[in-house]
Chains A and B, each alone.
Chain A
Amino acid sequence: EPEVTQTPSHQVTQMGQEVILRCVPISNHLYFYWYRQILGQKVEFLVSFYNNEISEKSEIFDDQFSVERPDGSNFTLKIRSTKLEDSAMYFCASRQGIEKLFFGSGTQLSVL
């Protein structure tokens, strides 16, 4: 079965540094997402991306965050200046139409 793949699986960074989380969505999917889960809490929506632009974003997704689809396969989340509270598991997801989201296995981001 096709998969959403995310790299790296773990990322450790110093506060204030920039990080880029990478995702390869399923190839024929059109809608792309980033979610995050702080340890023990709910899965929170960050941003959705369709037709090469952001379609919706949450309050969490402030100016420190950006997304990009630099080519036909990759989808990235950039955090410009990481804060301690950005430490979380970040999930990429994709879908084809109005149906289920397929999630990647996540990137555990630790900000020290």
Chain B
Amino acid sequence: DQQVKQNSPSLSVQEGRISILNCDYTNSMFDYFLWYKKYPAEGPTFLISISSIKDKNEDGRFTVFLNKSAKHLSLHIVPSQPGDSAVYFCAASPGTYKYIFGTGTRLKVLA
């Protein structure tokens, strides 16, 4: 039962352009969402989060949008930089102890 899905396994974007990573979820009880970045052989690193009472949260180059009716969230990175190349995971919590992760999207930013 895959409750958090990232349907694009990979994405390539030119340096300076916008990267948009998408995430869909099925459980309407999820009320807190996070995005993580992961480099090979390292642990996931927190990027940005959003609670279900908001529809947008911004932190520097990163913005997360939440569409509760569509059960969809997206991460926008503007402008994209080569150092952003990594695997990005969205995660969701139903307000209990656990966070459920998506399958990840590998972002490649081309110089």
Which of A's residues lie within 8 Å of B, judged by CB? 4, 31, 33, 35, 41-45, 48, 50, 55-56, 58, 91, 93, 98-106, 108
Contact = CB atoms under 8 A, between A and B. Distances in A.
A58 B101 CA distance: 13
Interface string B41-85: 111111001000000000000000000000000000000000000
Given A41-B103, A42-B103, A55-B97, 13 more contacts: A43-B44, A44-B101, A48-B98, A50-B97, A55-B96, A56-B97, A98-B95, A100-B49, A102-B46, A103-B44, A103-B45, A104-B43, A105-B43
Given A42-B89, A56-B97, A106-B41, A101 B46 contact: yes
Most chain-B Cβ atoms within 10 A of its Cβ — which of A50, A100, A105? Answer: A100
Most chain-B Cβ atoms within 10 A of its Cβ — which of A43, A44, A99? Answer: A43
B87 to A, nearest CB: 10
A40 B38 CA distance: 12
Nearest to B104: A42
Contacts, number: 58
Contacts of B45: 103
A5 to B, nearest CB: 10
Most chain-A Cβ atoms within 10 A of its Cβ — which of B46, B89, B97? Answer: B97
Given A42-B89, A91-B43, A31 B97 contact: yes
A45 B100 contact: yes
